Amino acid sequence: MDILIVEDEAEIAGLIQLALEKEGFSCQSCRDGLAALRLFQELQPDLIILDLMLPGLDGLEVCARIRQKPGTKDPYILMLTARSEEIDRVIGLSTGADDYLTKPFSPRELVARVRALLRRSLRQGGQHQIHRTQHFIVDVEQRSASRQISSDRTEELDLTTLEFNLLSTFVSNPGRVWNRTQLIDKLWGSDFFGDERVVDTHVARLRKKLEPDPANPTFIKTVVGVGYKFEDSTTP
């Protein structure tokens, strides 16, 4: 697994790289946003550790650009913040980061977060499943999803890795109510250490790509006080 570290503080970047390389990961690092975008295109990493405050382009802008134009790989993004209050702002902006970690952090916690993210890729293999509902077809093996716009028009959905996994989870169990903890365990794994509200961020992003009116969702419904459920008639 290849990891790109984007951190302008050389000492922190060095500690991150040392901790990850001791665990067998291949790492490259850079110190600013423009270099991060260039290395992302060149290296096609599996995961990016991205500091929020960077010279030039900040971490939010780097994350947004990567999500707008993913390369051959659609990397997981672990965003680093200097203060826990910043996580509220970052989550609210729905940047597309997969997890958040507040400085200072221990090397052990960092490695655990990285492994939890990368484990999601490994969990997807082994079965060829196609989930069909009235408006959606999700092919788990081909990693493709489409939406039926009308009787004669189908639209391919442009989803990030996490958005695809979230949609696949919902479509495979129409009508089931999922709370945040269950979705985190399904998508991140039981060793997830982050903020549960990250689920809300990714649901909001997915709704923007699925729903005719994301403010009044038809398919991904909020169950007040509990979580979310997917509603759409299934097809044989």
- In terms of pLDDT, which residue wins out, 96 or 209? 209
Mean pLDDT across 195-206: 86
Mean pLDDT across 31-36: 94
CB 162 within 8 A of CB 145: no
Mean pLDDT across 184-207: 81
C-alpha–C-alpha distance, residues 76 and 234, integer Å: 31
Q: How confident is the model at residue 87 (pLDDT cuts 50, 70, 90)?
A: low
Checking if the pLDDT of 140 tops 90, the result is no
Angle at 117 between CA 20 and CA 102, to 5 degrees: 70
In this prediction the pTM is 0.61
C-alpha–C-alpha distance, residues 99 and 113, integer Å: 8
- The closest of 96, 16, 91, 30 to 61, measured between CA atoms, is 96
pLDDT at 97: 82
Q: How confident is the model at residue 218 (pLDDT cuts 50, 70, 90)?
A: very high
Question: Which percentage of the chain shows pLDDT scores above 90?
Answer: 40
Question: Under CATH, which architecture does the 2-122 domain have?
Answer: 3-Layer(aba) Sandwich (3.40)
Instruction: Tell me what the pLDDT averaged over the chain comes to.
Output: 85
Checking if the pLDDT of 9 tops 70, the result is yes
Checking if the pLDDT of 193 tops 70, the result is no
Q: How confident is the model at residue 124 (pLDDT cuts 50, 70, 90)?
A: very low
- Asked if 2-122 and 130-230 have one fold, the answer is no
C-alpha–C-alpha distance, residues 46 and 76, integer Å: 6
Least confident of 60-69, 77-86, 122-131: 122-131
Q: How confident is the model at residue 91 (pLDDT cuts 50, 70, 90)?
A: low
Amino acid (1-letter code) at residue 13: A
pLDDT at 118: 81
- In terms of pLDDT, which residue wins out, 236 or 41? 41
Q: How confident is the model at residue 126 (pLDDT cuts 50, 70, 90)?
A: very low
Q: How confident is the model at residue 151 (pLDDT cuts 50, 70, 90)?
A: confident
Give the tokens for residue 188.
């991140």
From the options 1.10.10.10, 3.10.400.10, 3.30.750.80, 2.10.25.10, give the CATH code of 130-230: 1.10.10.10
Domain boundaries, the chain: 2-122, 130-230
pLDDT at 122: 46
- In terms of pLDDT, which residue wins out, 85 or 14? 14
